[in-house]
Structure 1
Amino acid sequence: MYTDYHNHLEKGTLTLDYLSQFVEEAKRKNVNHFGISEHAYHFYETENILSNPWVNQRRWYNMGEYVDLFKQAEKHGMDVKMSIEMDYTPGKHAEMRDFISNYKFDYVIGSIHWVEDFGIDLAEYRHLWDERDTLTVYRKYFDQVVTLAESNLFDIVGHLDLVKIFKYKPDNRDFLLEQYDRATNALSNSKTCVEISTAGLRKPVGELYPDPDLLKMCYEKDIPIVLSSDAHVPRDVGADYDKAVDLAKSVGYSKLMTFEQGERKSIPL
């Protein structure tokens, strides 16, 4: 039994037909706990949380139609959880809390895609990596991981070391381990689970998220995990799960966390 809690409809439509393609792929790959977590910045209701020229051009939906899609799915017997992937935004804890509390999400993913005004994982911003000090970007990124965890607003932190996406990595391994240590210390004191995401295998870095050393720290500090694919098209649901399971077991994990209407329950891996 697998989970896949991090998936997006943004390349298609908010329709039952398109959603069903994801649900059917999940069934085919033995993903028994499946959810959609659309990017929060696509919704007009999040304008007061994250606003910049890049995201403002991509504000397409309202939450009413999103919630209605899951009501339709339930009527048609589809087993799919409703979630959201929020860009963790420093200084906006109250606004994020208000937004989350307004909807009956099964779980909420918090992710970091922005370090100040730098979209660290966006193709349009990739060239800017050469103009920045990698150590500084990493430190500021993990600063946000710490405060994300301390906020205790999220059930899952998405792609924990996304900052490595374009293969820009510090040469100083001790520095990197220091960032991992403080991030996992904060996560261990929160309700936040970590996802093992196969999305990195489809990105320039060509690696799972998180790094094995980072995941080992998570295990040693009793931080629960889920499996996710971060699929943006149906065929990527549950992609490369053999590699994700191997990584999880290699550091000692034997359980996954599941979610339903905010309630959590562990299942065997």
Structure 2
Amino acid sequence: MLTDYHNHLETGTLTLEYLTKFTDMAKQKGIEHFGISEHAYHFYQTADILSNPWVEERRYYDMSDYVNLFQEAWKQNIDVKMSIEMDYTPGKHGEMEKFIKTYDFDYVIGSIHWVDTFGIDLAEFKHEWDRRDLFDTYRKYFDQVVTLAQSNLFDIVGHLDLVKIFKYVPEDEEFLLEQYERATDALANSKTCVEISTAGLRKPVGQLYPDKRLLQKCFDKKIPIVLSSDAHFPEHVGADFDQAIALAKEVGYEKIMTFSKGKRTEYTIG
């Protein structure tokens, strides 16, 4: 069994024609469970959850159009899961929960892209890495991983160590492992799965998410996994899954989680 649960239509259109380019690629790659998880900040209905100038320039979708797209796909017997990738926003648990419960998602991804007003993975903000304290940014990032897990709002945490995207990584291994430890402690006490994402291979860091040491802690604490490509273009669906599967098996994983309308089923990987 293979999954690819983290994918985006934002570089194209919310149309069946564009969606099928993704689902056709998933079929070619032998991916049995495929889902679209558009960024929640694009939708007018999330304005009370996350709002800043960068986001507001990119808020142009309505959830009714999104839901209708999936209903149209299902009528055509296109096997695709409906999801959302939500920016976990501290202090907005009630608003996030209300939004999540309003729609019949197959699963929900929670991700961290912002540390205060710092868009950690955005090219427009890259200069901030040299202006900020690296340890402070990492500590605040993993603070959010902990509270994301404790919220128990999400089925999957996206790209768990996205904070390394531009290769700004503390050389103090003890500090790094401390962040990994507390993050996985929180995840182990939640319903949240971890994705092995191949997107990092296409980013400056050139590595899978998460780091092998972090994934090992996930395995040791029995945190379930899924596989994801975080494709923003059809050709990236299922990209480099051989590396993701190899890493999963290297740390000990043999099973992968699947979702359907919130129901979870575990299968053997590959």
TM range (shorter): over 0.9
Q: Which residue of 2 aligns with 1:70?
A: 70
Deviation at 1:160, TM superposition (A): 0.0
Give the SS at the match of 2:107. coil
Q: Which residue of 2 aligns with 1:160?
A: 160
Q: Which residue of 1 aligns with 2:110?
A: 110
Deviation at 1:128, TM superposition (A): 0.8
Which runs of no fewer than 5 residues in structure 1 stay unpaired? Answer: none
Alignment of 1:1-269 (within 5 A): 1-269=1-269
Deviation at 1:257, TM superposition (A): 0.1
**TM score, norm. by length of structure 2:** 0.99
Deviation at 1:131, TM superposition (A): 0.1
CA–CA distance in structure 1, aligned partners of residues 171 and 243 of structure 2: 26
Overall identity of the aligned pairs, in %:
71
Deviation at 1:152, TM superposition (A): 0.1
Q: What do residues 153-178 of structure 1 show as CA deviations (whole Å, max 9, x unaligned)?
A: 00000000000000000010000000
Q: 2:115 is aligned with what amino acid?
A: V
Which runs of no fewer than 5 residues in structure 2 stay unpaired? Answer: none
Q: What do residues 100-155 of structure 1 show as CA deviations (whole Å, max 9, x unaligned)?
A: 00000000000000000000000000011000111000000000000000000000
CA–CA distance in structure 1, aligned partners of residues 114 and 131 of structure 2: 16
Give the SS at the match of 2:214. helix
Q: What do residues 33-58 of structure 1 show as CA deviations (whole Å, max 9, x unaligned)?
A: 00000000000000000000000000
Deviation at 1:237, TM superposition (A): 0.2
CA–CA distance in structure 2, aligned partners of residues 95 and 175 of structure 1: 33
Deviation at 1:210, TM superposition (A): 0.1
Q: What do residues 199-243 of structure 1 show as CA deviations (whole Å, max 9, x unaligned)?
A: 000000000000000000000000000000000000000000000
Q: What do residues 181-202 of structure 1 show as CA deviations (whole Å, max 9, x unaligned)?
A: 0000000000000000000000
CA–CA distance in structure 2, aligned partners of residues 134 and 64 of structure 1: 41
Q: 2:154 is aligned with what amino acid?
A: F
Deviation at 1:15, TM superposition (A): 0.1
Q: 1:152 is aligned with what amino acid?
A: N
Q: 1:263 is aligned with what amino acid?
A: K
Q: 1:182 is aligned with what amino acid?
A: R
Deviation at 1:63, TM superposition (A): 0.2
Deviation at 1:27, TM superposition (A): 0.3
CA–CA distance in structure 1, aligned partners of residues 239 and 2 of structure 2: 12
Q: 2:145 is aligned with what amino acid?
A: V
Q: What do residues 69-102 of structure 1 show as CA deviations (whole Å, max 9, x unaligned)?
A: 0000001110000000000000000000000000
